[in-house]
Amino acid sequence: MSEFGNEANPAELTETVEEKRPKFGNRFLTDDNDVFKHNAWDNVEWDADQEQEALAAVTKNSTQKMKAEDKEKFQNDADKFWDSFYGVHQNRFFKDRHWLFTEFTELAAPSVDEVQEPRSIFELGCGVGNTILPILKYSQEPNLKVYGCDFSARAIEILRENKEYDPKRCEVFVMDATLEDWSVPFAENSLDIIVLIFVLSAIEPTKMNRVAANCFRYLRPGGLVLFRDYGRYDMAQLRFKSGKCLEDNFYVRGDGTMVYFFTQEEVRDLFCKAGFVEEQSVVDRRLQVNRGRMLKMYRVWIQTKLRKPLKEEAKK
Ligand SMILES: C[S@@+](CC[C@H](N)C(=O)[O-])C[C@H]1O[C@@H](n2cnc3c(N)ncnc32)[C@H](O)[C@@H]1O
């Protein structure tokens, strides 16, 4: 599916368009009668009724929260649930995301005319490499170093075995990103870019600020966090059944993996408290359509760029 909706029936979720669409998409639905003419529509507006319906669905599925003892199992063994996920799906589940380079132009190599200092990119929660591998494949930068970590040992193993994994330009390792102290092969204040693609949503909300603080610590002044994740009222959130809610907007899927649904403000607050300055924040709303089954699926993603200020700016 596009964007990790393993909580839903993957057959219902169209994937291909997400991969190819240009920046923020450009197919707009102007006549409701046309809705089943294409697989997806960009920048769909939500009216007050739709917002209300979404709120009602979320209230319904989250009023009753999971008991503490049941919740602990998912939180304490989160890495094991992801290990099982990768044991089942190997590297077949998430597609390589070529849209990355249109949404996050910073990931593409600087032009040859620009002076090229060696750059370093670190992906947290890199899984089996659906972000890292396209970066390695398409980057022309001679000195680019790409790092990745995941707390699923199995994911890292699968990634290392991929024939596109190039150990000369890339180093991946097992690490829980929520640890207070990261054990990493690079220095503090050194990274150019940290990529967070659908990973923060898998982390308990109370631990998210630690992740943001460590991102700040390891980025160089002027470095960037590139963030894309689930937005509030995404179809995946509305579909949860009652009994799956751990905390407000935080749920457990059938396979034991957890997922949070963000607002723009929450992402901004989290990172700005850690010292970042928000440079871009977009709510990407798409309507995906299953034409065969006449299904309409409203997807919501948050995309944000956050910069660690240069020293002089930080002092102001
Ligand atoms: C939805 S997947 C996204 C994978 C990858 N970012 C991509 O773009 O394909 C979320 C990933 O985050 C990892 N993850 C979740 N919590 C983590 C944590 N506390 N530390 C490290 N990795 C974590 C999971 O194992 C999983 O591989």
pLDDT by 10s per residue, the chain, length 316: 344 443 333 333 333 334 344 455 666 667 777 766 767 767 777 788 888 999 999 999 999 999 999 999 999 999 999 999 999 888 776 666 767 888 898 988 766 666 578 899 999 999 999 999 999 988 878 889 999 999 999 999 999 999 999 999 999 999 999 999 999 999 999 999 999 999 999 999 999 999 999 999 999 999 999 999 999 999 999 999 999 999 999 999 999 999 999 999 999 999 999 999 999 999 989 888 777 777 778 899 999 999 999 976 655 5
| Six-digit token string for 26 | 């450009």
CA distance 249 to 259: 8
- Residue 100, classified by CB atoms within 10 Å of its CB into exposed (0-12), middle (13-18) or buried (19+), is buried
Q: Cα of 125 to ligand 1 centre, how many Å?
A: 3
83 lines ligand 1 (CB under 6 A): no
- Which residues neighbour 283 within 8 Å (Cβ) at sequence distance 6 or greater? 231, 264, 300, 301, 302
Is 2 contained in some domain? no
Distance CA 308, CA 41 (A): 34
| Long-range residue pairs from 15-24, CB within 8 A, at least 24 positions apart, any chain | 15/95, 17/288, 18/99, 18/286, 19/95, 19/96, 19/97, 19/98, 19/99, 20/98, 20/99, 21/99, 22/102, 23/102, 23/103, 24/103, 24/282, 24/284
Residue minimizing CA distance to atom 5 of ligand 1: 126
- CA of 130 from ligand 1 middle (Å) equals 11
Alpha helices (runs of H) in 121-246, residue ranges in sequence order: 132-138, 153-161, 208-218, 235-238
Please state the domain count of the chain. Answer: 1
Helix (H) or strand (E) holding 247: strand 245-247
What is the domain extent for residue 255? 10-315
Looking at the domain assignment, is residue 304 inside a domain?
yes
Q: How far apart are CA 227 and CA 198, in angstroms?
A: 8
Query: Does 199 sit in the ligand 1 pocket, CB within 6 Å?
Result: yes
Residue 93 within a domain: yes
4 in a domain, yes or no? no
Give distance in angstroms: CA of 196 to centre of ligand 1. Answer: 9
Judge whether 77 lies within some domain.
yes
Query: For residue 36, which phi and psi values (nearest 5 degrees)?
Result: -90, 15
Pocket test for ligand 1, best of 18, 128, 151 (most atoms within 8 A of CB): 151
Determine, yes or no, domain membership for 139: yes
d(CA 274, CA 285): 27
Tell me the H-state helices in 230-289.
Answer: 235-238, 264-273
| Ligand 1 center to 19 CA (angstroms) | 20
H-helix or E-strand spanning residue 148 = strand 145-150
Start-to-end C-alpha separation, the chain: 45
Whichever domain contains 238, its CATH number is 3.40.50.150
